[in-house]
Amino acid sequence: MPKNDKPQSTRHDPSIESIADTFPSADLLTKEQIEALLPKLDGIISWAKQVQEYALEQALKGTRFEGYKVVAGRSIRKFTNTDQVVDTLLGEGYDESMIYERSLKTLTQIEGLVGKKNFAPLLGHLVDVPLGKPALVSADDKRPELSPDVAAAAEFK
């Protein structure tokens, strides 16, 4: 490494420049290659996220990356004064039932309301717990293994 402890530019380094091109499609990997990669993927994903975060941090400080630009992310519109919105709409003749929604509290909120002991006897028969999206995890994970048929069915729900 140079004396400034920064790695040398990799702009023309073929090992970095074509790194994405060296990853074969997942369906071309052998079972053995997949088994070798699985324990390393979390580290690779974490590293890639660190690179993205660092690149954004540097770009926000003025560093330009060829082919990239900093943009505003997706945002969600919101009212600045909901009381004034209600007053305005009511003043325009809109009925309260048209501007307000009545909705059931979440399952967790209701469980907190009635208590964990009372929840199952009172409402347990009205609760569905669907299978979560299948995930490939280490064999020592405490969750029970899904059969391939159950996993495939859960994936398509």
Using one digit for the tens of pLDDT, what is the confidence trace for 101-157? 999 999 999 999 999 999 999 999 999 998 888 888 888 999 988 887 765 565 555
One domain for residues 47 and 89: no
Q: Does some domain include residue 46?
A: yes
33: closest CA among 21, 41, 45? 41
Q: Which domain holds residue 48?
A: 14-60
One domain for residues 141 and 105: yes
One domain for residues 56 and 89: no
Q: Is the pLDDT of residue 11 over 50?
A: no
Q: Does some domain include residue 100?
A: yes
Report the C-alpha gap between 38 and 32 in whole angstroms: 10
Q: Tell me the pTM.
A: 0.59
One domain for residues 88 and 151: yes
One domain for residues 52 and 99: no
pLDDT for position 39: 92
pLDDT for position 153: 61
Q: Does some domain include residue 73?
A: no
Q: Does some domain include residue 72?
A: no
One domain for residues 90 and 134: yes
Give the helix ranges, DSSP H, for the chain: 14-17, 31-60, 82-91, 96-99, 107-114, 116-123, 148-155
Q: Does some domain include residue 118?
A: yes
One domain for residues 113 and 148: yes
Predicted confidence band at 98 (pLDDT cuts at 50, 70, 90)? very high
One domain for residues 87 and 145: yes
108: closest CA among 127, 121, 125? 127
Identify whether the C-beta of residue 134 lies closer than 8 Å to the C-beta of residue 146. yes
Q: Which residues contact 78 (CB under 8 A, 6 or more apart)?
A: none
pLDDT for position 19: 60
Min mean pLDDT across 25-39, 85-99, 137-151 is at: 137-151
Q: Does some domain include residue 69?
A: no
Q: Does some domain include residue 122?
A: yes
Cα angle 130, 131, 132 (rounded to 5 degrees) comes to 115
One domain for residues 89 and 151: yes
Q: Does some domain include residue 21?
A: yes
- Average of per-residue pLDDT values in the chain: 85
Predicted confidence band at 10 (pLDDT cuts at 50, 70, 90)? very low
- Report how many domains make up the chain: 2
